[in-house]
Structure 1
Amino acid sequence: MVQTSSPEIRETGADRRPPPAPEYSSWISQDRSTDAAAVAMRQEAAELVERVLEHYRNNSTHEADGQWTEPVANYLDADRWQREMDAVHRTVPLPLAMSAELPGPNTYKALDVLGVPVLITRDRQGTVHAMINACRHRGAKLIEPGCGVSKRLTCPYHSWSYDLAGELRGVYAEKTFGDVPRTGRSLVRLPAGERAGIVFVSLDPAAEPDLDAWLGDLQPLLEGLRLADCHHYSTKELTSPNWKVTLDGYLETYHFASLHPKTVFETNLSNMMAHDTWGAHQRIAPALRPIAQAAELPADRRDPGDCVGAIYWLYPGLAIAGGWRHKIAVSLVLPRTATESVTQQIILLRDPAVTEEERHAADKFGEWFYEVVRDEDYATTYGVQQGLAALNGTDFVFGRNEPGLQHFHRTVHAHLDSRAAR
């Protein structure tokens, strides 16, 4: 069941009580898989620890070559927002679901993306499909947003039914309605594919995305995380401001000490990270506090999951935090309008929560992320959005220590320029 929250109900100021940080446990040090992806992932993780350790020893962070300025008008202009949606979200393959949300045959996830009702399914053979969530009779929505299990997709309006591959299987009272040829009356399909435990969907029915090329050299690292083997525990939703205002907060560690002094900063060092890019995608790798003790250990005794909080970020808006641990928080940011987006927080577990103690730990983990994002990150970014109009005509400046922001905005600009050149 998807739960929603409005920013108006959050506590603020002195009344807010920051939630205690959850206890983390490393998975990467316990993984004994010997396939190529797992071995490559562990090797790369060890190398990443060495890079972050170098920043710890030097009290430094990854720096871009220079600063970047972004006109405030680029956050405000509704016409530009529409061009961004056309050049990005209606063009590139979107990461819209985790494989764990469709854990077996006859499962589905329904969600709205830019006003498009999207239905993702896994049929009885285990193949993933995506389609427009609208009956071919009169367009009624088949499934309400959320995840579930169903052998048939039955329209609530007139009971036309489809299988999980989207094929029309039943027409209520067809004798009086008249014969309906099944060919050509299946649900409208959207291109979909599954890679590394993530389901990608294109909103353009005519698109032919090459997911292997889209992910490039990042794909083996994602496969090494074994996200497809995880278990979906919960999903919650939060409303959030303009998609770029929202995502700016996900792509730097510069704010940890000031914005999260009693939460994130208790486990992460501030303004200290490694940064990598793969095409449009990137990873920020903040230093975790136990790195201070790991610095005194030989390399073969350092646990990457204790030293580095690697966050893999798939363009245009999926963040995977805690991929080296037993509990993983996935954030999916989807634009709604020029001034609003919605964030799905998806909690994945390496092992299913069976006992009351395990469920309590999973609940605490999910609640911590939810409350920190709602009460600290999004409370602040809503304030940013309120100030945009007054700042119109000026620029925001991204520092050398904010390479993730710079890469994100350069990529958006590149997609706009590419579409304009067609």
Structure 2
Amino acid sequence: MVQINSPETQTADDERPLPPPAPEYTSWIGQDRSTDPAGVATRQEAAELAERVIEHYINNTTHEAEEQWTEPVDNYLDADRWLREMDAVHRSVPLPLAMSCELPGPGTYKALDVLGVPILITRDRKGVVHAMINACRHRGAELVEPGCGVAKRITCPYHAWSYDLSGELRGVHAEKTFGEVPRDKRSLIQLPVGERAGIVFVSLDPAAEHDLDAWLGDLQPLLEGLRFADCHHYATRELLSPNWKVTLDGYLETYHFASLHTKTVFETNFSNMMAHDTWGPHQRLAAALRPVADLAELPAEERDPGDIVGAIYWLFPGLAIAGTWRNKIAVSIVIPRTATESVTQQIILLREPAVTEEERHAADQFGEWFYEVVRDEDYATTYGVQRGLKALAGTDFVFGRNEPGLQHFHRTIHRLLDEASR
């Protein structure tokens, strides 16, 4: 993974180059012919969702919450509250930290850091996923640098102790002089891990016992029907981003499309027009795509939902999957680092591998477009939000009725903090 952005490199509005042209996309949901129950249910739900979005287009409306929501600015500033959020949220819930296709077969891994915890996710020779602390049990050296890769064994660069992909200690260099080492007591420290619907969830608490099926609830069959596990990992980039809540606020509404994304997102999406659904802490924003203007009058059987709806599935606390009904998908994982900084992994998935030069060029253009829009428009703006927080201390933000995603996100955080304080 390559870190490619920092606030210092961001430019003023009048200095930014014109964004690349919006990538062409093709719908996948309308072409899917899978007969499994999850796929059939997902296509049916997609058709119903398209009808809801068409209704919003016809009436020039959007999904609305019952009332506005106010959030104290101090909740973004308070370093003690940030620590409590990390304990109540990121150290307590199963975190979506990888897509299954980032570990496409036996002997693959993904390494990353979450709140100072070095994590190594692996797929062993039997295809089973494991998660463990990315630190040698000899002297604590980092075993694998952040990123994705392939390995038969994990060997420590410091003293060459080696582990298999399940984390079991297999080799101790010069054990004759070092002294015998009990393998079962020096294997890598395991973290709870589970794989559902093409997404890998990890807990930072080694003693946690999460029920992933209950955590995902009724959303799980819809995700399974989207067949993310069958996708191909094309590329990953990292961007620095501000406070995790400041960052994620920008992912959870379509109200800003016309003003912030005038020459990018707004060219393909209507602004302030969406359907909204929640499943426990998770949610989906279904934005209205421009072709709805031409397709609204057609009979339902002649419409492809993927040409009408831009569906963004959002898993708490920080995974956004955009382009879920298309052949090219952009995944964003927002991971807190400090009270004022987070990092965003931007992962590009393809329904079919990019084999030809033309296919690779199209995939590159797609990834570049998302990267530049997020860096130069979304994050340039949210860094500005963060710079103004101290001056606004003691006041509050207001989330409109047309921003139900923001309300649901913050309401969930408040609930988890309340539960943790009992």
TM-score, structure 1 as length reference = 0.99
Aligned residue runs from structure 1 range 299-378, under 5 A: 299-378=300-379
Is the partner of 1:135 in helix, strand or coil? coil
Shift in Å at residue 5 of structure 1? 1.9
Q: Which residue of 1 aligns with 2:207?
A: 206
- 1:61 and 1:271 in contact (8 A); partners too: yes
User: 1:3–1:235: 8 Å Cα contact kept in structure 2?
Assistant: no
Q: Residues 12-42 of structure 1, C-alpha deviation per residue, up to 9 Å, x if partnerless?
A: 3223212211101101111100000000000
Q: Which string of whole-angstrom CA distances, capped at 9 and with x for unpartnered residues, describes residues 62-110 of structure 1?
A: 0000000000000000000000000000000000000010000000000
Q: Deviations over 1:245-272 (max 9, x none)?
A: 0000000000000000000000000000
Deviates more, 1:77-86 or 1:17-26: 17-26
Q: Which runs of 4+ in 1 moved over 6 A?
A: none
Q: Which residue of 2 aligns with 1:279?
A: 280
Letter in 2 for 1:336: R
Contact 1:12 1:375 in 2 (8 A): no
Q: Which amino acid aligns with 2:113?
A: D
Rounded Cα–Cα distance in structure 1 between residues aligned with 2:116 and 2:183: 27
1:8 is aligned to 2:5:
no
Structure 2 counterpart SS, 1:336 = strand
Is 1:124 matched with 2:125? yes
| Offset from partner CA, 1:185-240 (integer Å, 9 cap, x none) | 11000000000000000000000110000000000000011000000000000000
| Pair 1:52-2:74 in alignment | no
Per the alignment, in what secondary structure is the counterpart of residue 96 of structure 1? Answer: strand
**CA distance, structure 1, for counterparts of residue 153 and residue 259 of structure 2:** 51
1:170 aligns with 2:171: yes
Partner of 1:417: 418
Query: Which secondary structure does the structure 2 equivalent of 1:360 belong to?
Result: helix
> Partner amino acid for 1:96?
L
SS at match of 2:184: coil
- Counterpart amino acid of 2:327? H
What's the CA shift string for 1:280-338, capped at 9, x where partnerless?
Answer: 00000000000011102100111111100000000000000001000000000000000
TM-score, L = length of structure 2: 0.99
Name the residue aligned to 2:135. Answer: 134
Gaps of 5+ in 1: none
| SS of residue in 1 equivalent to 2:4 | strand
Alpha-carbon offset, residue 132 of structure 1: 0.2
Matches within 5 A, 1:399-414: 399-414=400-415
Partner of 1:19: 20
- 1:284 aligns to what SS in structure 2? strand
- Where 1:253 maps in the other structure, the secondary structure is coil
**Letter matched to residue 7 of structure 1:** P
1:68–1:398 Cα contact (<8 Å) kept: yes
| CA deviation map 1:103-131 (0-9, x unaligned) | 00000000000000000000000000000
- Asked if the contact 2:319–2:331 (Cα under 8 Å) also holds between the matched residues in 1, the reply is yes
Corresponding residue of 2:89: 88
Distance of 2:210 and 2:166 partners within structure 1: 19
Once residues 71 and 356 of structure 2 are traced to their aligned partners in structure 1, the CA distance between those partners, rounded to angstroms, is: 49
* Structure 1 residue 184: Cα displacement: 1.5
Q: Deviation at 1:183?
A: 1.3
Q: Tell me what 1:72 maps to.
A: 73
Distance (whole Å) between structure 2 residues aligned to residue 167 and residue 4 of structure 1: 35
**Does structure 1 residue 148 correspond to structure 2 residue 152?**
no
Aligned position for 2:260: 259
Shift of 1:3: 4.1
CA contact (8 A) 1:7 1:374 kept: no
The number of residue pairs the alignment matches comes to 421
**Cα separation, 2, equivalents of 1:181 and 1:397:** 58
**Cα deviation code 1:107-165 (max 9, x no counterpart):** 00000000000000000000000000000000000000000000000000100000000
Cα separation, 1, equivalents of 2:267 and 2:8: 27
Distance of 1:150 and 1:213 partners within structure 2: 33
Q: Which amino acid aligns with 1:14?
A: D
Amino acid at match of 2:197: A
2:382 aligns to what?
381
Residue 8 of structure 1 and its aligned partner are, at CA, apart by 2.1
* Alignment RMSD (CA, Å): 0.7
SS at structure 2 position matched to 1:110: strand
- Give the whole-Å Cα distance in 1 for the aligned partners of 2:12 and 2:40: 46
Rounded to whole Å, the distance in 2 between the matches of 1:213 and 1:184 is: 33
**Partner residue of 1:234?**
235
Secondary structure at the counterpart of residue 32 of structure 1: coil
The amino acid of 1:98's aligned partner reads M
Partners of 1:349 and 1:11 in 2: CA distance: 31
One-letter code aligned to 2:322? A
Return the alpha-carbon distance in structure 2 between the equivalents of residues 299 and 3 of structure 1: 45
Q: In 1, Cα distance between the equivalents of 2:24 and 2:349?
A: 15
- Does structure 1 conserve the Cα–Cα contact (< 8 Å) formed by 2:3 and 2:240? no
The answer (yes or no) to whether the contact 1:99–1:197 under 8 Å persists in 2 is yes
* AA at the equivalent of 1:175: K
- AA in 2 matched with 1:214: W
Amino acid at match of 1:212: D
Counterparts of 2:353 and 2:90 in 1: how far apart (Å)?
33
- SS where residue 31 of structure 1 aligns? coil
Could you say which residue in structure 2 is the equivalent of 1:40?
Answer: 41
* Cα separation, 1, equivalents of 2:294 and 2:34: 27
Aligned equivalents of 2:5, 2:175: Cα separation in 1:
43
Gaps spanning 5+ residues in structure 2: where? none
